[in-house]
Structure 1
Amino acid sequence: MLSGTQSSSSCHLLGALPVCRILSLVPLIAAFLVSLADAAESKQPNILFLFADDQSYETTGYRGMTQVQTPNIDQLAKRSLSFNRAYNQGSWSGAVCVASRTMLNTGRFVWHANDVYNTTEQERAAGRLWSEYMKKAGYQTYMTGKWHVKANAQKAFDVTGHVRGGMPQQTPEGYDRPQSKDDTTWQPWDKKFGGFWEGGKHWSEVVGDEAVGFLKTAAQDDKPFFMYIAFNAPHDPRQSPKEFVDMYPAEEIEVPEDFLPVYPENKEIGCPPTLRDEHLAPFPRTKYAVQVNRQEYYAIITHMDQQIGRILEALEQTGKGDNTYVFFTADHGLACGHHGLMGKQNSYDHSIRVPLLISGPQIKPGEHDASVYLQDIMPTTLELAGVSKPAHVEFESLLPLALGKKEESYDAIYNAYLNLQRSITDDGFKLMLYPKANTIKLFDLTSDPREMNNLAADPKFAERKKALFATFQKWQKKVGDKLVIDPALVQ
């Protein structure tokens, strides 16, 4: 011990260092330890993005809206914030998935995304695609499954698995069926038809295998990862192992309340019986055909859910789950028997709304009713990665909503399909515009969520129609929509 009369020049030695020198280092050591703790807390989170194809917002078990069973997605939902009103913004193509994915990966609104659709390889080279921003932020980027973007996935990501095309190959037997209850020509589990079975193993299982494999590698790496896991399911041909189909006896499947044999404006809105998606079931529709198509839809969703469960379990086994944000959504919805329609080329909620879940360190589980776009996931992950929002990204981060810093991101939801359909959703009402059919439809989504009661001709809603059309015109400018619609249509 030092005596009170000793000066600093006469400090005793403790080992190789004077005691006073050790004491003088204490504040520096404490600061260093604090900085280590801060660094640990600010460590970039991992990002796991799970992406379905053609999955409507109503087809998850946790929503309880249909008979579909998704136990693994339901477990994810329990620890997630669910955005119950998530939308796709539309499409310039019958392949709605192309437009949705281009918007997602470029961050641009629909018609601006259309402008860069044929130049997305240059976008990638310039570092303006989602994955390129994540690379620059220091992430190991990985992709497997459906890509369908005009850019080379092998270049856009550090590592890729099987990169699939737009859809598994359909067969003639997969269309215009079933003709009757005796029609068993095509069976979802029969591997001779190829499709999801091409190559011997179901494509959803291949995606599951590859994602699990990457996670095992990532567990040994300190670098943060960004995983883009894109299933082709539940897109048609809706194939899955027989035990999954057997979970949903066709005769027990509920036919949607809004069932119609024929949608009255099908040709004028670009959904005639010859459109590939609409050609999947006989025309006019029968309730039994709808039951079979929904049976197979639910079965392939449940099969995909099993693969998602494997991926989530593998994530926990890495020991990195606590520092990982998990996103689950789909590129758009699907009619599959609603309103006499089978495809996604329409502006009804069943076809433009999707499930959207986020779980992660800052996320409080629950539900949020703000209207958002599924493409908002892209800027959300950039914010989490510490990337400033690029000037060309028009969609909004979901974090301010998730953290309670604001109540809404958009004043309305715009949707478009080719030059044949437009819609605007605001304050619980949706205005649908069919220019070629010279027709409009107005729905009160609060009292009529199935969009069955057209209020457009009711004089009580005249001002509502005008207000919605004015909002629509503002959104046209915002998204680069050059279609001219005569205001007289809403008079």
Structure 2
Amino acid sequence: MIKHFIISALAGLSITALAETEKPNILFIFADDLSYETIGAFGILDIDTPHLDSMVEGGTTFTHAYNMGAYNGAVCVASRAMLNTGRFVWGTYQHDTGPKMKEEVKSGRMWSQLMSKAGYRTYMTGKWHVKAKPADIFDVAKNDRPGMPKDFWSKGSADGTKPKHYGYFRPVDEEDYKNGWKPWDTSNGGFWEGGKHWSEVVADDALDFIADAKEHKDPFFMYIAFNASHDPRQAPKEYIDRYPLDRIKLPDNYVSKYKYQDEIGCGKSLRDAALAPFPRTEFAVKVHRQEYFALITHMDDQIGRILQALEESGKADNTYIVFTADHGLAVGRHGLIGKQNMYDHSVRVPFMVVGPNVEPGAENPAPIYLQDIMPTALQLADAPIPEYVEFKSLLPLLKDKQAQHYNSVYGAYKNQQRMIQQGDWKYITYPTCGGERLYNMKNDPFEKSDLSANPEYAAKMKELRSDLLALSTDLNDPLDYNDPVTSWKKAAPTKSKKAAH
């Protein structure tokens, strides 16, 4: 394990001074479907992530990093479009079409293009899922991948040995698991397509990029994006074997069915939700969590290779490393499997920063959005932050934990879910069916006790409803809460504005 790397580098030099002298390198490592709780150092889950743990030890962790939401079932599409354009969710909705994204590229507005203008050599590998070609906006792009590896929704066999939905609604029971899909079976394709596991390919490419960067004087910006830990959750067998089912604990907020699953778009018609059987069973949830943890640990080992190569390159002392993910994942919490919900396991992600003069082993509880890394990188690069970039740089928070950032966190999923988190409180509303949820996140961090029907909190409910409506207006949310179906059909996102929330 690589411990405490970079933490003593340039110890007497402030972040601002560094930006004004020698431009730092930036290594951005991005995971998929990775909940905030999946880092072993956080002590929430029994999971092995020694290399990510080293980032927690060696840098500052933003403990409350969120994704703002999504306008379609592929939550990563919105997350990544926000990340690369710098716009909030509804401004991104307006621009997230092929022609408009091409215009973004033509105008040089994408994150990597702005880094290039600042004098950086830019690299990219792995999951992209943005309506632009990486080769058009990075100096070097290799093995850019689609949103997910091929799944097994429509596979089957004439003799019935593999059912039509092979890889879904599984495992029904132990016998079904014994005879069914296996995550280490390379004949299933998916992460194994091409002969080598995609996470290993990403690490291989990153090592090539680091070697190439040694030959150039320009600072580098690397965008290293794993498809892991997205389904199909495939990993070598030795990683599955590290997580026998008796090591896997059932989530304490496990239920067999979420009350509003169909009304909020998380029923059988949602691809992610259909990975496990309905109703959920303890056995199925444990198997899915086993495969989830194994894929994460396998990715962590690949990240270890990247960190080691960076250290050996001689570039580490002047490199900021950021690790985060596009959103989280339920994997059995609340009776849910996917990420299309407003619970912390799905909207909150790990977010660690290691680099020159970043405080080691520190935590910052300020609410942030993961996309804040885009303007942060620009500021580190001593590059101007364009007016259209709506997210905020984290440098003030890295220098002063008490710095002001966002007053509240907003979340959205299509026209079916809205959320505001403010202080210790989270309020969720389901506009199309009228359902509501209220949680005290300080007393109930795993959101097990819904307080919305408790008359004691009627005033708090009213306050948060009002604040959510105001924030929705501020963010140009196209939803009319009084007519969520018609307003969504007619929605035509307009130019969003900056919001001081």
Which residues of structure 1 form unaligned runs of 5+? 1-37
Q: Which has the higher contact order (CA 8 A, sep 6+)?
A: 2
Aligned residue in 2 for 1:30: none
Deviations 1:2-28 (A, max 9, x none): xxxxxxxxxxxxxxxxxxxxxxxxxxx
CA–CA separation in structure 2 for the residues paired with 1:40 and 1:179: 55
1:221 is the counterpart of 2:212: no
Which amino acid in structure 2 is aligned with residue 165 of structure 1? P
Could you say which residue in structure 2 is the equivalent of 1:336?
Answer: 331
Aligned counterparts, 1:220-299, within 5 A:
220-299=215-294
Matched residue of 1:55: which SS?
A: coil
2:107 aligned residue? 126
Match of 1:177 in 2: 170
Structure 1 equivalent of residue 399 of structure 2: 403
Structure 1 pair 411–323 and aligned structure 2 pair: CA distance change class (3 A): same
3-state SS of 2:37 partner: coil
CA deviation vs aligned residue, 1:428-473 (integer Å, no higher than 9, x gap): 1000001122111100111111111111111211111122122212
Work out the percentage of aligned pairs sharing the same amino acid.
Answer: 52
User: 1: CA distance between counterparts of 2:394 and 2:459?
Assistant: 32
What whole-Å deviation, never above 9, does each CA across 1:23-69 have from its counterpart, x for those lacking one?
Answer: xxxxxxxxxxxxxxx99971110000000000000001111111111
1:450 equivalent to 2:446? Answer yes
Q: Distance in 2 between matches of 1:332 and 1:40?
A: 29
- 2:499 is aligned to none
Contact 2:19 2:380 in 1 (8 A): no
Indicate the SS of the match to 2:141.
Answer: strand
Extract structure 1 runs of 4+ deviating beyond 2 A: 38-41, 405-408
Distance 1:39 1:345 in 2: 40
- Name the aligned partner's letter for residue 316 of structure 1: E
The corresponding residue for 1:82 is 61
Contact 1:371–1:408 (Cα < 8 Å) also in 2: no
Separation (CA, whole Å) in 2 of partners of 1:57 and 1:276: 22
Moved more, 296-305 or 468-477: 468-477
Query: How far off its partner does 1:125 sit?
Result: 1.2
SS at match of 2:96: helix
Task: Give the distance between the partners of 2:222 and 2:31, measured in 1 at CA.
Answer: 14
Cα drift, residue 486 of structure 1:
4.2
Q: Deviations over 1:353-390 (max 9, x none)?
A: 00000011131120000000000000000000011211
Structure 2: distance between partners of 1:65 and 1:464 = 29
Q: Does 1:441 align with 2:437?
A: yes
1:93 is the counterpart of 2:91: no
**Structure 2: 5+ residue stretches without partners:** 1-16, 153-164, 484-501
Distance 2:372 2:142 in 1: 25
Matched position secondary structure for 1:44: coil
SS at match of 1:223: coil
Structure 1 distance, partners of 2:73, 2:271, is 9
C-alpha contact 1:59 1:68 (8 A) present in aligned 2: yes
Corresponding residue SS for 1:339: coil
Q: Which amino acid aligns with 1:161?
A: K
> What's 2:492 paired with?
none
State the one-letter code of the partner of 2:194: G
Aligned counterpart for 2:408 among listed residues 412, 421, 428? 412
Distance 1:225 1:187 in 2: 39
Task: Provide the TM-score with structure 1 as the length reference.
Answer: 0.90
Q: Secondary structure at the match of 1:94?
A: coil
CA contact (8 A) 1:251 1:288 kept: no
Deviation for aligned residue 1:130: 0.3
Partner of 1:60: 39
Is 2:450 the partner of 1:471?
no
Q: For 1:438 and 1:357, how far apart are their aligned partners in 2?
A: 37
Secondary structure of 2:38's aligned partner: coil
Larger Rg: 1
Separation in structure 2 between the aligned mates of residue 425 and residue 486 of structure 1, nearest angstrom: 21
Cα deviation code 1:222-280 (max 9, x no counterpart)? 11000000000000000000000000002331010111111111111011122100100
Tell me the equivalent position of 1:153: 134
- SS of 1:82's equivalent in the other structure is strand
Match of 1:345 in 2: 340
User: What's the Cα RMSD here?
Assistant: 1.4
Q: Contact 2:327 / 2:346 at 8 angstroms: preserved in 1? A: yes
Shift of 1:406: 4.3
Kept in 1, the 8 Å contact 2:20–2:382? The answer is: no
Opposite residue 139 of structure 1, the aligned amino acid is: Y
**Among candidates 409, 426, 429, match of residue 430 of structure 1:** 426
One-letter amino acid of the counterpart of residue 174, structure 2: K
Count how many residue pairs are aligned between Structure 1 and Structure 2.
Answer: 450
Of the three residues 206, 221, 239, the one matched with 1:211 is 206
**8 Å contact 2:376–2:394 — kept in the other structure?**
yes
Cα distance in 2 between the residues matched to 1:362 and 1:480: 38
Shift in Å, 1:170: 0.5
* Counterpart amino acid of residue 461 in structure 1: Y
- Matching residue's letter, 2:451: L
Mapped contact 2:19–2:382 kept (Cα < 8 A): no
Q: Give the C-alpha shift of residue 480 in structure 1.
A: 1.3
Equivalent pair of 1:380/1:399 in contact (CA under 8 Å): yes
In 1, Cα distance between the equivalents of 2:435 and 2:207? 50
Correspondence 1:377 to 2:373:
yes
Q: Distance in 1 between matches of 2:425 and 2:128?
A: 34
1:205 and 1:54 map into 2 onto residues whose CA distance is 18
SS of 1:173 mapped into structure 2 = coil
Q: Distance in 2 between matches of 1:168 and 1:448?
A: 36
Give the CA deviation at 1:219.
1.4
Which of 100, 105, 111 lines up with 2:84 in the alignment? 105
Q: 1:362 aligns with which of 354, 357, 365?
A: 357
**Residues 332 and 352 of structure 1 are in contact (CA less than 8 Å); yes or no, is this contact kept in structure 2?**
yes
Is the contact made by 2:85 and 2:110 (CA closer than 8 Å) also made in structure 1?
yes
Given residue 145 of structure 2, which amino acid in structure 1 is its aligned partner? R
CA distance in 1, matches of 2:147, 2:20: 40
AA in 2 matched with 1:231: F
CA distance in 1, matches of 2:404, 2:242: 39
1:483 aligns to what? 479
With structure 2 as the length reference, what TM-score do the two structures score? 0.88
Distance 1:342 1:44, change over 3 A: same
CA offset at residue 73 of structure 1? 0.5
Amino acid in structure 2 at the alignment position of 1:473 = L
**Matched-pair contact (CA < 8 Å) for 2:426–2:439:** yes
Q: CA deviation at 1:478?
A: 2.4
The CA distance in 1 between the partners of 2:265 and 2:134, in whole Å, is 31
